[in-house]
Amino acid sequence: MANYYDIDDILIEEEFVPVLFHKPANGVTIDPSAETNCVEQGAKVELPFWLAHELHLRQAVSVTLPACFDQKTRLEIQADAACVDLRSRCPYFYEFGCKLQPLVTDRTLGILLSTAFKLRYKERLTKVYTAAHITASKFLPLLTKEETNLYEAAHLSMTAFKKWRTGGPRFQRASILGRKRKESY
Amino acid sequence: MAGQTDPHISLFSPQEVEFMAEDELVQIVPNMNMEPLNFISGDFGRFVPQIPIEVPLWLAVALKRRGKCTFRPPGWLSVDNLTQILEAERESQSTFQALPFSYVEIARLLFDHARDDIPDMYMVRSLVEDIRDVRLHKLETNLGSFQGTSAVKISNVSAMEVNLVRPFVRRALEAFYKHDKPEADADRDTRSSRQPREANNEPRRPLRQR
């Protein structure tokens, strides 16, 4: 865990993952619609990541890939990574994937993440500096949280630079100076 | 999560970069007599009318505002030189021409305060702006060529340009680094499990997703 107080980190761990129980568990209300307060061995349940992670460490469950990394998404990313709406699938696509990586048996997940990021970075994010904000706003809703942060970092520095270039009041008098002079008159 | 810290952090604002550029030395021709000035960065003077002297840009601007001197525009700030640089910048897509590290800021300060001392002011100004736009576009194209490398070498990028892309590049490289690590791990794992003996002799071949 990189930063205990990082709000994004907390939200990532709230994402649900499907798990398969290896051991029966009694006295837990994981599924509110279940008739009894226990989970059978071999039951498939969706748990938040933080819980699934702890149970996985205790060998109680095995984690399977959540829907946002399914075959359909992979095919779409292979077809045209830049146009895939990753935010609606999972706003923390990359970070969530990185956290899932050690828990799942699927070795291609890391490669999927890095290819997706590289393609999307090349297609979308490098046009930030010269593209107009209007054209950018078209693809902004498709970006994940991390990509939005990247975009904003670039956009903010560009706006600051433009503001500096066009000028404005260059020397501002400190308010305290003006007051002193008035008093002396 | 390194890629997710506050996006609003940029180490310097353009104004601060300009402030630092004001320490660059420029040539002025004073029109008054003045004793030498002793600063932490060195002594400047003595000021004698019509004798050119090198002073920090901020001092030159202050003297100019009081009408105590005229600027000698730096050698690179001429129409001929700038036209050449612009041509060269347009020709090559990957390399940047050598310009003073803070050419954007120096040009801006001179255009603001020493309008009458620069020959062909409007031409020079539009040339500098063109050069800056071409370079910025080129820099952006270069950013697109990042392929998860851990070290990036682009020479002759000026202070303002570096400052402009710094927050973006830092975060992008962090993200690349983060995503490259698991790939390397997966690569090693599959290799070692299949052929533990020959793993060392094999040429490195990155796994590609099909």
Full-model pTM: 0.73
What fold does the segment set A69-165 form as a domain?
A: Methane Monooxygenase Hydroxylase; Chain G, domain 1 (1.20.58)
Greater model confidence, B53 or A1: B53
User: Cβ contacts (< 8 Å) between A149 and chain B: which residues?
Assistant: 3-4, 7, 171
Mean pLDDT of B38-62: 91
pLDDT in tens, B21-34: 999 999 999 999 99
| The dihedral sign for the CA sequence A89, A95, A97, A99 | negative
Q: For residue A126, give the nearest of B112, B140, B182 by CB distance.
A: B140
Mean pLDDT of B47-53: 93
Give the pLDDT score at A116.
Answer: 84
Q: Domain locations in chain B?
A: 14-143
B 17-36 residues inside an 8 A Cβ radius of A: 18
User: Cβ contacts (< 8 Å) between B178 and chain A: which residues?
Assistant: 94, 98
Give the pLDDT score at B97.
Answer: 87
Q: Backbone phi, then psi, for B115, in 5-degree steps?
A: -50, -45
pLDDT at residue B1 greater than cutoff 50: no
Give the pLDDT score at B57.
Answer: 93
Smallest Cα distance from A183 to chain B, Å: 27
Greater model confidence, A153 or B208: A153
Q: What is the DSSP string of B28-53?
A: EEE-S-BPPEEETTEEE--B-TT--E
pLDDT in tens, B141-153: 888 777 766 677 7
A34–chain B Cβ distance below 8 A for any pair: no
pLDDT at residue B7 greater than cutoff 60: no
Smallest Cα distance from A111 to chain B, Å: 6
Best B4, B164, B183, B185 member to test A by mutation, with max A CBs in 10 Å, is B4
**Spatial contact of A156 and B10, defined as CB atoms under 8 Å apart:** yes
User: Cβ contacts (< 8 Å) between A78 and chain B: which residues?
Assistant: 209
**Where in chain A do CATH 1.20.58.2050 domains reside?**
1-64, 69-165
How distant, in Å, are the alpha carbons of A27, A129, A159, B39 from that of B164?
57, 9, 10, 31
Give the pLDDT score at A133.
Answer: 64
* CATH number of the B14-143 domain: 3.40.5.50
CA distance A120 to A124: 6
Q: Do A126 and B175 touch (CB under 8 A)?
A: no
Angle, CA of A77, A78 and A79, to the nearest 5°: 90
Best A15, A104, A121 member to test B by mutation, with max B CBs in 10 Å, is A121
A 68-87 residues inside an 8 A Cβ radius of B: 78
pLDDT in tens, B166-204: 888 888 888 888 877 654 554 444 444 433 333 344 444
Mean pLDDT of A136-160: 80
* ipTM entry: 0.72
Give the pLDDT score at B63.
Answer: 92
Tokens of B53: 């002297």
pLDDT at residue A152 greater than cutoff 90: no
- A1-64: CATH architecture: Up-down Bundle (1.20)
Smallest Cα distance from A22 to chain B, Å: 26
pLDDT at residue B16 greater than cutoff 60: yes
Nearest residue in chain A measured CA to CA from B186: A107
Mean pLDDT of A9-21: 86
Greater model confidence, B144 or B139: B139
Give the pLDDT score at A32.
Answer: 67
